[in-house]
Amino acid sequence: MDATATPIDPEMKRRRRMSLLARASTAELDATWAALAVPSDVTDLRGPETGLVMLTGRIGGDGGRFNLGEATVSRSTVRLPSGEVGFGQMLGSDRLMARRAAILDAAAETAEGAPIVARLCDEIETRLDRERQTSDAETAATRVDFFTLVRGED
Amino acid sequence: MYVAVKGGEAAIDHAHRLLADRRRGDRTVPAITEAQITEQLSLAVDRVMAEASLYDPGLAALAIRQARGDMIEAIFILRAYRTTLPRFGSSQPLDTRHMRIERRISATYKDLPGGQLLGPTFDYTHRLIDPDLVGDPEVPEPARRDGGLDNIARVADILDGESLIETEADADIVPGDITREPSEFPMSRPERLQSLARGDEGFLLALAYSTQRGYGRSHPFVGEIRIGLAEVEIDVPELGVAVTLGEVRITECQMVNQFKGTADKPPQFTRGYGLVFGQSERKAMAMSLCDRALRAAEYGEEIVAPAQDEEFVISHCDNVQATGFVEHLKLPHYVDFQAELGLVRRLRTAWEERGVLLEDDDSEAPLGEAAQ
Which pLDDT score is estimated for A140?
Answer: 94
Length of chain B: 372
> Contact A99/A78 with Cβ under 8 angstroms?
yes
Q: Residues near B259 by Cβ (< 8 Å), separated by ≥ 6?
A: B166, B265, B267, B268, B269, B270, B299
Confidence at B148, pLDDT banded by 50, 70, 90? confident
- Write the residue in A57, A73, A140 that is nearest to B245 by C-beta: A73
Let me know whether B171 and B75 are in one domain.
Answer: no
Structural domain total, chain B: 2
Same domain, B125 and B227: yes
Contact between A57 and B96 using a beta-carbon 8 Å cutoff: yes
- Quote the CA–CA distance of B366 and B360 in Å, as a whole number: 12
Q: Which of B82, B92, B190 sits opposite A52 (nearest CB)?
A: B82
Taking CA–CA distances from B102, the nearest residue in chain A reads: A139
Write out chain B residues lying below 8 Å of A47, CB-based.
none
Going by the DSSP 8-state scheme, the letter that residue B329 receives in this structure is G
Residue with the larger pLDDT of the pair B356 and B329: B329
Does residue B311 fall inside a structural domain? yes
Whether B190 sits inside 8 A of A65 (CB atoms) is yes
Higher pLDDT, A152 or A35: A35
- Answer for the pair A116, A32: CB distance below 8 angstroms, yes or no: yes
B19 lies in the same domain as B59: yes
Of A31-40, A87-96, A126-135, minimum mean pLDDT range: A31-40
Do residue B55 and residue A54 have CB atoms under 8 angstroms apart? no
Residue A42 backbone zone (phi > 0: left; psi -120 to 50: alpha; other: beta): beta
Chain B residue at shortest CA distance from A65: B175
* B345 lies in some domain: no
Cβ distance A106 to A78 under 8 Å? yes
- Among candidates B91, B142, B239 on the partner chain, residue whose Cβ is nearest the Cβ of A55: B91
Domain identity same for B291 and B172: yes
- Using CA atoms, how far residue B124 sits from A11, A127, B142, in Å, is 49, 33, 17
Q: List CB contacts (< 8 A) between B82 and chain A.
A: 52, 70
Interface test with A, best of B56, B224, B292 (most A CBs within 10 A): B56
By the CB < 8 Å criterion, does B237 face chain A?
no
- Cis (ω within 30 of 0) for the bond into A48? yes
B173 — contact with chain A (CB < 8 Å)?
A: yes
pLDDT score recorded for residue B112: 85
Q: Which of B100, B106, B85 is nearest to B158 (CA)?
A: B106
Q: Which residues in chain A are closer than 8 Å to B149, comparing Cβ atoms?
A: 136, 139-140
Taking only the tens place, the pLDDT of each residue in B229-248 is: 999 999 987 778 889 999 99
Is the domain of B199 the same as that of B265?
yes
Q: Is A7 exposed, middle or buried (CB count within 10 Å of its CB: 0-12, 13-18, 19+)?
A: middle
Q: Which residues of chain B lie closer than 8 angstroms to A49, CB-CB? A: 86
Q: Do B34 and B163 share a domain, yes or no?
A: no
The answer to whether residues B311 and B173 belong to one domain is yes
What does DSSP say about strands B100-105 and A85-91: parallel, antiparallel, or unpaired?
Answer: unpaired
In a domain, B17, yes or no: yes
- The complex scores an ipTM of 0.90
Phi and psi for B353 in degrees, rounded to 5?
-65, -25
B196 shares its domain with B241: yes
Residue B116 domain-assigned?
Answer: yes
Q: Is A53 in contact with B232 (Cβ distance < 8 A)?
A: yes
Compute the radius of gyration of chain B from its Cα atoms: 27
Q: Does residue B340 register a pLDDT over 60?
A: yes
Tell me, yes or no, if B106 comes closer than 8 A to chain A by beta carbon: no
Q: What is the mean pLDDT of residues A106-131?
A: 93
pLDDT > 80? residue A50: yes
Same domain, B54 and B161: no
Q: What is the pTM of this model?
A: 0.90
Identify the closest residue of chain A to B227 by CA–CA distance.
A139
User: Which has the closest alpha carbon to A117: A33, A23, A57?
Assistant: A33
The beta-carbon neighbor of A90 closest among B53, B85, B245 is B245
User: Which letter does DSSP use for residue B263 in this model?
Assistant: S
pLDDT at position B109: 87
* Cα A134 to Cα B273: distance, rounded to the nearest angstrom: 30
When pLDDT is cut at 50, 70 and 90, the band that residue A153 belongs to is: low
Can you tell me the distance from the alpha carbon of B289 to that of B312, in angstroms, rounded to the nearest whole number? 15
Q: Please give the mean pLDDT across all residues of chain B.
A: 89
Phi and psi of A125, rounded to 5°? -65, -40
Cβ-based neighbour number of residue B40 at 10 Å: 10
AA letter at B132:
D
Is the Cβ of B234 closer than 8 Å to some Cβ of chain A?
A: yes
| B239 and B113 co-located in one domain | yes
Is the pLDDT at A90 greater than 70? The verdict is yes
* Domain with B40 in it: 9-82
> Of B90, B147, B198, which has the smallest distance from its Cβ to A140's Cβ?
B147
Q: Give per-residue pLDDT as tens, B43-96.
A: 999 999 999 999 999 999 999 999 999 999 999 999 999 999 999 999 999 999
Q: What phi and psi, each to the nearest 5 degrees, are found at residue A3?
A: -70, -15
**Cβ <8 Å between A133 and B169:** no
Nearest by Cα to B155 from B206, B209, B96: B96
Of A12, A66, A133, the CB nearest to B190: A66
Cβ-contact B119, B225 below 8 angstroms: no
The per-residue pLDDT for range B63-73, each reduced to its tens digit, is 999 999 999 99
Mark which of B271, B299, B317 sits at the end of a domain.
B317
Q: Where does a domain end: B274, B290, B317? A: B317
Please say if the pLDDT value at position A7 is more than 70. no
Prior bond to B220 cis, omega within 30? no
Q: Considering the domain boundaries, does residue B240 fall inside one? A: yes
Instruction: Of B265-269, B316-320, B364-368, give the lowest mean pLDDT range.
Output: B364-368
Contact across the interface for B85 and A72, Cβ inside 8 Å? yes
CA torsion sign for A45, A47, A51, A55 is positive
Q: Do B64 and B104 have their domain in common?
A: no
One domain, residues B183 and B302: yes
Q: Name residue A58's beta-bridge partners.
A: A65
pLDDT (0 to 100) of residue B245: 96
Q: Does the residue B250 lie in any domain?
A: yes
Cβ contacts of B35 within 8 Å, gap of 6 or more = B61
CB atoms within 10 A of CB B133: 9
Residue B366, pLDDT > 50, answer no
> Does B260 reside within a domain?
yes
Q: What pLDDT is stored for residue A94 in this prediction? A: 95
